[in-house]
Amino acid sequence: MNIGDAAQLSGLPAKTIRYYEDIGLIEPLRSANGYRSFRETDLHKLTFLGRARSLGFTIDDCRTLLTLYRDRARASADVKHVAQDHLACIDRKIVELTEMRRTLSHLVEACAGDDRPDCPILADLAAVVPGQSCARQSN
């Protein structure tokens, strides 16, 4: 199976698949003509990766999960641990975004949104908040 089919079936762009090979997540065979040749197991891994990425796992998480997946003697506790860590991370992000949303929606509501030059949004953004040293984001 060539990369095009693998892309179609896994739902990942060909570019991404090549990248995943580059960083050692998959190791497809090569045909005589130099084309990548994907086996069932490769496709399986790609689908796994696509799903894990769409759930927000980092590439590094994926590497760990793939190793655990291949390891028949793994403990499910290990996997659960990775997943729980990620869940906690998601929760933090949700809290952060909700906080952001609340602040911003207050500002939007307070803004008349007409032609007058006064704007509470800008006024607030410009206000020097005294103790905001930990307001920075991890992004």
Partner DNA sequence: CTTATGCTTCCAGTCATAGGAAGGTCAAGC
Partner DNA sequence: GCTTGACCTTCCTATGACTGGAAGCATAAG
Residues engaged in binding a second copy (CB under 8 A): 11-12, 44, 47-48, 50-56, 65, 68-69, 72-77, 79-81, 83-84, 86-87, 90-91, 93-94, 97-98, 100-101, 103-105, 107-108, 111-119, 121-122, 124-129, 132-133, 135-137
Site for DNA in 29-68 (CB under 7 A): 32-36, 53, 58-60
Among DNA, a second copy, none, the one that 40 touches (CB under a kind-dependent 5 to 8 A) is none
Rg (CA), the chain: 23
What's 117's DSSP letter?
Answer: S
Burial class of residue 24 (count of CB atoms within 10 Å of its CB; 0-12, 13-18, 19+): exposed
Burial class of residue 28 (count of CB atoms within 10 Å of its CB; 0-12, 13-18, 19+): buried
* Options 11, 15, 41, 75; binder of DNA; rule CB under 7 A: 15
